[in-house]
Amino acid sequence: MSVARVTTITARSADSFEGAIREGIERASATLRNVSGAWVKDQTVEIEDGVIRTWQVTLEVTFVLE
């Protein structure tokens, strides 16, 4: 049997939603042990002068407790 915890994080990228997801997962994995999954809860963009400047995601990251 295992017990998991879910934590919410946000991550940004200057390139894409995929880049923001990768950045968030890499950072979470560097801090948390046993990251086992993530759910993209929300996606937003910041626009300046009609151009997308940043892509942001809110992730629900699951990690298994030791």
Does pLDDT of 1 surpass 90?
A: no
What is the rounded CA–CA span in Å between residue 38 and residue 64?
A: 12
Examine the pLDDT at 49 and tell me if it is beyond 90: yes
pLDDT at 4 over 90: yes
The DSSP secondary-structure symbol of 38 reads: E
User: How far is it between the farthest Cα atoms of the chain?
Assistant: 52
List of domains in the chain:
4-64 (3.30.1660.10)
Buried-state track 28-62, b at ≥16 Cβ within 10 A, e below 16: beeeeeebeebeeeeeeeeeeeeeeeebbbbbebb
Task: Look up the pTM and report it.
Answer: 0.89
User: The tokens of 30 are what?
Assistant: 């560097």
Flag whether pLDDT at 25 surpasses 90: yes
